[in-house]
C-alpha cells in the first residue's frame, strides 16, 4: 500500500491533505522508502556485471 504522508512544499509540514492545513500550500507525496529506485538499479547492474565476469571466467 502506498504511503499517504505528504509534505508541504511551502512550509515543509507533513500532512495527509493535498493542501497544507497550516499555510494552504501544495503538498507532495513523500517517499517513505530509504532506498531509491536508482539504488535498486545499481544493485541490478552490479549483479549483471558480476554475472558477466563470472561467465567470462568460466569460458576460459
List of residues contacting Zn ion (CB under 5 A): 8, 10-11, 13, 20, 22-23, 25
Least separation in angstroms between residue 4's CB and Zn ion is 17
Whose grid coordinates read 554475472?
A: 51
Q: How many whole angstroms separate alpha carbon 18 and alpha carbon 24?
A: 9
Three-state SS for 37? Answer: helix
Least separation in angstroms between residue 16's CB and Zn ion is 13
**Measured from the CB atom, is 23 or 46 closer to Zn ion?**
23
**Measured from the CB atom, is 6 or 20 closer to Zn ion?**
20
Q: How far is CA 23 from the centre of its chain?
A: 27
Amino acid at each position: 500500500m502506498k504511503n499517504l504522508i505528504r509534505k508541504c512544499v511551502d512550509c515543509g509540514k507533513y500532512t495527509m491533505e493535498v493542501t497544507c492545513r497550516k499555510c494552504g500550500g501544495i503538498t507532495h507525496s513523500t517517499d517513505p522508502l530509504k532506498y531509491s529506485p536508482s539504488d535498486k538499479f545499481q544493485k541490478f547492474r552490479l549483479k549483471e556485471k558480476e554475472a558477466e565476469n563470472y561467465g567470462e571466467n568460466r569460458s576460459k
